[in-house]
Amino acid sequence: MGNCCSTSVARLDRVTTKLDLNGRVVYVKNGITNLSRDVVDYCVPDISDVFYTGLKRPIYEPLDSNPSERHEAPIRNFENYPSITDYILTKDLWRSRVVANSTLSSRYCVSSTCIGFGIGGSVRHVLEKNTQHPYALKSLRTHVSSRRKLTSVFNEVAIYTQLDHPHIAFLHEVYQDNDACHILMEYCRGNELYDRLDNSKRFSEAYARKVTFQMLLAISYLHHHGICHRDLKLENWVFQSEDPDSMIKMIDFGFARLFEEGVPMGGMHGTVYYVDPEVIDGCYSEKCDIWSTGVIVYMILSGSPPFRGDSDKEILWRIKRGNLKFQGTRWSSVSYVAKEFIASLLNRNASKRLTAQQALNHKWLKQEMAAYNSYKIPKELLETIVAYSKKNALIRAITALIVINTDRSAPMEVYNSFMSMNISKNGVVTFDEFKKAMSGLISDTSEISNIFTIVTFRCLTGIHYTEFVSATYEYFSKLNIAALAFAFKKLEVAMGPPVVLDSLLSIYGKSFGDVATETIFSQMDSNKDGIVSFQEVCFFSINHNAQFCQSVLGESQYTLSLPNTNTAV
C-alpha cells in the first residue's frame, strides 16, 4: 500500500527501510540514506522491530521494493520465506492458536459453500469433527506474486490474533499450508448489519442507539491499542445470533494497521460510501473509523447513505464537499440530539471530530452508558474470581486454554459484569477499576492486588475479556472430563504426541502468569518419566479442584486410583 505519511521503520540487520514523504522506499545502511534497492537483501524481520505498545508491529511495506509491484519477483524465489509465526507474539498462550503441527482437515469438516467474502478471501462454514461445534473459516492465499500481498495477509492475521473484546468476532485458531493461511473464527449466526437493515429498511432510534454504543465499544478498544480498522461498513459488523437483542461484532481486518498518535497514515483504503474526506486526500488518522461510524449511524436511522451519487467519482466529490443534510420525512421522527451526534462524527475537520471515547460519552448515548455502569455485579461472580485466584496454576492454565479455544458464549451476567467493571469502556479493566468492584467483598488492597496479578495472565496492565471469562468460568460452567480432554488434545497438537515439557512451553511460553511452566509440568508428571498422560492430568485435576472431583465421581465409567499429588504451586 502506498503511504505518503508513514515513518515506520523495519530493521534488516544493519540495513533499515522506511518511506519518505513522497512515498519512496528509502534504504539506510550504517546511517547512510540510499535510494538504491541494491544495498538490501530480504530477510525475516527481527522480533524487536515488530513490537509496539505490547503488540507485535507487522511490517506494512515491502522491505526492498518500489511502490510499483510490476517488477517484483514471485515470493517463492526468495530464501527465508516468512511464515505467520514470524509475525505473531512470542511464545505464550495467545500464540498457541497458531497451529503448526496439525492440518485443518484433520480436525474440521470444511464446507465448500461460501457464507461470505472478506478482504482477501472467502469465508466458509466448518464443523469440529468431535464436538460438531460450528466455526467460520476465512482462507487467505499466501501463494502470491509479491511480498506486498503476502505481508498484507500476515498483517491481518498478526493484528487479529491480538484482539480480545466481546464485540469483536474472536479468532480461535490459525493454520498455514503451502497455498493459504486459514483463520478459524467465531461463527456469528445473525448475519450482517447490512442484512438486518435491508430487512427492516431503517432502525428505531432506540435500537440504533444500542447498536451504535456496542460498535463504539469495539472501536474504542481498537484505538486504545493503537489499531485502526480502516474499512468499517455495514457488511463488517455481524450479529452473534438471530435474536433481535443479539450483540453485534466487528469482523474483517484486511485493511487494519497499527498507528502512532500524531503520526498520520496514508494510502486510500475502505469502501467508497464510508470514506473519510481525509482518506481521499491520502493523509489521515484513526478518526477515519469515526467518520465511517457516522455514515453507518446515518444509514441505520434513515436507510440511505449521507453522500450519494451515480458514480464513485460523484460520491467522492460529495464527500469532499461535505454538505450533510437531514431532509425528508424519515428524519422527522429522529431527535435533534441524534442528528447532532451524527454531525459530530461526520465533521470534515478530523481535529474537531469526536474520538471513540468522546462518542461513547455523548448525550445521545447517555442512556446506554448508564445501563452498563448501573449494572450490579453479582456477589457470587466476584466470589468465583476470588476462588479462581486460589486455584493451582495448572487448573487456571487449563481453564484459560479451554476458554480461548472453545465457544465464546459466556452468559450475559459475565459480559455485563465485565462492562460494568470497565468504567473507561476501553475493553481493559485496570487495577483501580478492579479494586473498586472488589472493595465490597475484600477490604485488603494487597489481597485485591494479588488477585488482579493472578487473573491478568496475558499482561499486568489490565484484565482482558478472555482473562475475565477464564476467572469466572466456574460461575457458568464446569471443568469436566470432556473439557479436560479438549485441553489435553490441544497440548498434544502443539508438538505432536506425547505431551512433553516442550508441548507446554509452546503453548504457555516460559510461564503462565507468575508460575514457571516447568513447575506446572513437574506437578503434572507424577511418575517423573518426562511425559504427561491424560490420566495424570485427571489425577492432578481431581486433587486440586473439588468441583472437577465431583464431576468425575458422577461419571461412573471413570474409576481412578489417585496418587498423592497435593503439592501446591
Q: C-alpha cell of 402?
A: 479451554
- Comparison of pLDDT for 408 and 35, the residue scoring more: 408
pLDDT band at 57 (very low <50, low <70, confident <90, very high): very low
231 tagged catalytic: yes
Cα–Cα dist 274/219, whole Å: 15
Q: Which residue has the cell 455502569?
A: 373
Looking at the structure, tell me whether residues 359 and 380 fall in a common domain. no
Q: Per residue in 494-527, pLDDT tens?
A: 666 788 888 778 777 777 777 888 888 888 888 8
| Position 15 pLDDT exceeds 80 | no
Predicted pLDDT of residue 485:
80
Predicted pLDDT of residue 296:
97
258 beta partners: 227
How large a percentage of the chain has pLDDT more than 70? Answer: 74
pLDDT band at 33 (very low <50, low <70, confident <90, very high): very low
Of the candidates 164, 231, 252, 525, the residue annotated as catalytic is 231
Cα–Cα dist 327/332, whole Å: 8
Q: C-alpha cell of 300?
A: 441505520
Residues 466-483: what's their mean pLDDT? 86
Looking at the structure, tell me whether residues 356 and 278 fall in a common domain. yes
The Cα-based distances of 7 to 28, 260, 441 in angstroms read 13, 10, 49
Q: Per residue in 151-177, pLDDT tens?
A: 777 778 888 888 999 999 999 888 887
| Position 150 pLDDT exceeds 60 | yes
Looking at the structure, tell me whether residues 219 and 174 fall in a common domain. no
- Comparison of pLDDT for 371 and 96, the residue scoring more: 371
Predicted pLDDT of residue 146:
60
Residue list for the binding site: 138
Residue finishing a domain among 326, 346, 372:
372
Looking at the structure, tell me whether residues 394 and 476 fall in a common domain. yes
Cα–Cα dist 355/361, whole Å: 10
Residue finishing a domain among 186, 220, 250:
186
Residues 36-61: what's their mean pLDDT? 32
Cα–Cα dist 561/552, whole Å: 12
- Single pTM value for the model: 0.80
Three-class SS of residue 184? strand
Mean pLDDT is highest, among 353-362, 469-478, 520-529, for 353-362
Residue list for the binding site for ATP: 138
pLDDT band at 72 (very low <50, low <70, confident <90, very high): very low
| Position 472 pLDDT exceeds 50 | yes
CA dihedral sign of residues 405, 409, 411, 412: positive
Predicted pLDDT of residue 112:
79
Predicted pLDDT of residue 250:
96
CATH of the domain at 256: 1.10.510.10
CATH of the domain at 379: 1.10.238.10
Looking from the CA of 279 toward its CB, the CA atoms found within 13 Å total 23
- Comparison of pLDDT for 393 and 146, the residue scoring more: 393
Residue finishing a domain among 319, 353, 372:
372
Looking at the structure, tell me whether residues 157 and 30 fall in a common domain. no
Q: Does 77 fall in a domain? A: no
pLDDT band at 145 (very low <50, low <70, confident <90, very high): low
| Position 115 pLDDT exceeds 90 | no
| DSSP letter (8 states) at residue 65 | -
Q: Does 5 fall in a domain? A: no
Cα–Cα dist 410/530, whole Å: 36
Q: Does 3 fall in a domain? A: no
Looking from the CA of 345 toward its CB, the CA atoms found within 13 Å total 27
Q: C-alpha cell of 268?
A: 486510500
Looking at the structure, tell me whether residues 165 and 272 fall in a common domain. no
Contact predicate 342/354, CB 8 Å = no
pLDDT band at 8 (very low <50, low <70, confident <90, very high): very low
Report CA 511 to chain centroid distance, whole Å: 22
Looking at the structure, tell me whether residues 103 and 157 fall in a common domain. yes
Q: Does 199 fall in a domain? A: yes
How large a percentage of the chain has pLDDT more than 90? Answer: 36
pLDDT band at 546 (very low <50, low <70, confident <90, very high): low
Q: Does 502 fall in a domain? A: yes
pLDDT band at 45 (very low <50, low <70, confident <90, very high): very low
| Nearest one of 145, 142, 112 to 127, comparing CA atoms | 112
| Position 530 pLDDT exceeds 50 | yes
| Position 280 pLDDT exceeds 50 | yes
| Position 344 pLDDT exceeds 70 | yes
Q: Per residue in 84-96, pLDDT tens?
A: 444 444 446 766 6
The number of domains in the chain is: 4
- Taking only Cα atoms into account, the Rg of the chain, rounded to an integer number of angstroms, comes to 25
Looking at the structure, tell me whether residues 197 and 167 fall in a common domain. no
Q: Does 84 fall in a domain? A: no
Predicted pLDDT of residue 38:
39
Residue numbers of the domain that contains 489: 375-569
Looking at the structure, tell me whether residues 265 and 326 fall in a common domain. yes
Q: Does 540 fall in a domain? A: yes
Predicted pLDDT of residue 367:
95
Predicted pLDDT of residue 557:
42
Lowest mean pLDDT, pick from 188-197, 346-355, 538-547: 538-547
Looking at the structure, tell me whether residues 361 and 417 fall in a common domain. no
Residues 61-77: what's their mean pLDDT? 32
User: Peptide bond before 498: cis, by omega within 30 degrees of 0?
Assistant: yes
CATH of the domain at 107: 3.30.200.20
Residues 256-278: what's their mean pLDDT? 83
Residues 51-61: what's their mean pLDDT? 31
Looking at the structure, tell me whether residues 162 and 106 fall in a common domain. yes
Q: C-alpha cell of 279?
A: 482518506
Lowest mean pLDDT, pick from 223-232, 281-290, 476-485: 476-485
Mean pLDDT is highest, among 329-333, 391-395, 546-550, for 329-333
Q: Does 134 fall in a domain? A: yes
Looking at the structure, tell me whether residues 367 and 380 fall in a common domain. no
Tell me the average pLDDT of the chain.
Answer: 77
